[in-house]
Amino acid sequence: MPSKPIFTNAQLEAASYSDLTAKPASALAMSLCGSQLANILHQQARRPNKAQVAAFGALIADLLERDPDDNGGWLFRSISSGSFSRTGIGYRPFITLFDLMNPMMLDVAMGTKQWLQNELTGGKRSPAWQRATRFRANDWLRRWFAEGGITRENWAEHFIRERKVVRPKQAPILLRKTKSPRSLGSSNGLPMDIGSKDPAVAELVARMDRINDYLGEQVVEPFGPVFLRRIFSNGDQPDFAWDQGGRMYASGRENYQTAKKAVRATITINGQATKEVDLQGSHLTMLVGLGHVPKAVLDGDPYFIDGLPREVVKHWVNMTMGHGKRHTRWPPQAVQDFREKQGIDLPSEYPLTALGDAILKKLPILDSEGQSTLAGWGELQFRESEILLSAMETLAYEHDVPALPVHDSLIVPELKGSLAISVLKEAFRASVGIEPSVS
């Protein structure tokens, strides 16, 4: 009789991903898998087809490789049809066999999802938390293969694994010219040749290739494999030295960075729930650390100014530092957002000149003439990107903890949140000499 699934939440969280990339390689493995597959399908009076043979062999390989003494030997993967688009195993043959094997050969903890619907999701029903299906070979299945001569100890003699990581064709480094002053509404300059023979470029590419190789081995759901590109700016300036911009952007039109925060909260990495670790007031704190702005501006809430809405103050500071100088008029998108979301008419209620003068009395982020920022947005973005990349490298190579960047934050496994905060603070301190606020 098959054993009943007995597990703890910690065991399910420690499950390994079933990527279905292994297959039987020895004559014995192919014979045993074929015999058991025929038994499973006998009740349906069917002979196995090629797709079922491949699916069963891949599943058995993953099941027998997992050590039952390691947190119960659990595996995980989403068993929705969309999760099979990047595998060589078809959804229909897999799910047919999975259902037939459960519960005679498998212990299964089905996936679960919790939903949220409020103002944060725009009134739409969105997933707030989810966990993929967990499963493992039960005692009967392991014993049956052991009696036939295959155990976890001799797994490598009977199965082979062929992982194929598909990489986008574009380079992980992109360089752009300075944005034209006339290109209102666009933050991008025209692309430039990166000069692939330049040693500095080769080093940047190698660094990104390494972190992309590491992230490519992680299972990020529901968005799939992650590939990052680092985009540098102002490449046509005479003093350019690969120190402008440099933010990391995920490839693909619909990726985890472009998703709403409520959706990002549902991301799992290697089957584990995640949290987003945010740098608070990153650019403003950099200005303090670099000695451009008095440290006192960070006492309390730097965006609190009596008589002004905090969100208006914060938006003005961020858009001014991002622009490198004062705006002459409110950007149309800001006007629309504040009017729709907060009922504030920015141009009439908060004229830019008067608002800027009031904010600068507390936050002197512009030069003595009150026009240009004390540090350009390109420099600040570069420092920020270096800090995040450095923290990602420390987490990955020293702690084997994957982290996904979202400009001024990192998405990390929830259980590693405290470690990520510590590493991010240290990377920031090493760059600008001051410890940031991280939440």
How much is the pLDDT for 181? 52
Could you tell me the residue range of the domain that residue 116 belongs to? Answer: 9-161
Answer yes or no: do 49 and 195 share one domain.
no
* 388 and 273, same domain (yes or no): yes
* Mean pLDDT value across the chain: 86
pLDDT tens digit sequence for 308-327: 999 999 999 888 887 888 88
Q: Residue 186's pLDDT is what? A: 43
Q: Are residues 50 and 135 in the same domain?
A: yes
Cα–Cα distances in Å, from 72 out to 206, 404, 414, 430? 38, 28, 21, 41
User: How many domains is the chain built from?
Assistant: 3
Looking at the fold, whether 187 and 256 belong to one and the same domain comes out as yes
Does residue 155 sit in the same domain as residue 207? Answer: no
| Residue 369: inside a domain | no
Lowest-confidence pick of 123-132, 295-304, 366-375: 123-132
Residue 63: is its pLDDT beyond 90? yes
> Which runs of consecutive H residues, i.e. helices, occur in 167-309?
199-216, 261-264, 282-289
Looking at the fold, whether 250 and 392 belong to one and the same domain comes out as: yes
* Average pLDDT over every residue of 147-153: 95
> What confidence category does residue 117 fall into, taking pLDDT thresholds of 50, 70 and 90?
low
For the cut 50, the answer to whether the pLDDT of residue 183 exceeds it is: no
Q: Are residues 113 and 23 in the same domain?
A: yes
Beta bridge partners of 305: 308
User: Quick check: 423 pLDDT over 50?
Assistant: yes
Residue 99: in which H helix or E strand, if any?
Answer: helix 91-101
Q: What is the pLDDT of residue 345?
A: 92
Task: Based on the fold, state whether residues 265 and 321 are members of the same structural domain.
Answer: no
Q: What is the CATH number of the domain that holds 238?
A: 3.30.70
The DSSP annotation for 272-327 comes to: EEEEEEEEETHHHHHHHHTTSS-GGGGSS-TT-BTTB-HHHHHHHHHHHHHHTB--
Q: How many Å apart are CA 360 and CA 366, to the nearest integer?
A: 8
134 is a domain residue? yes
- Asked whether residue 145 falls in the same domain as residue 206, the answer is no
Do residues 260 and 121 lie in contact, with contact meaning Cβ atoms separated by under 8 Å? yes
User: How confident is the model over 150-155, as a mean pLDDT?
Assistant: 94
pLDDT score at 55: 94
In this structure, the answer to whether residues 53 and 115 fall within a common structural domain is yes
Question: Hey, is 362 helix, strand or coil?
Answer: helix
pLDDT category of residue 23 using cuts at 50, 70 and 90: very high
Bridge partner residues of 114 (DSSP)? 129
Q: Residue 276: what residue type? A: E
pLDDT for 427: 97
- Percent share of the chain, pLDDT over 70: 89
Last residue of one domain, picked from the residues 137, 161, 185: 161
**Pair (95, 29) in one structural domain:** yes
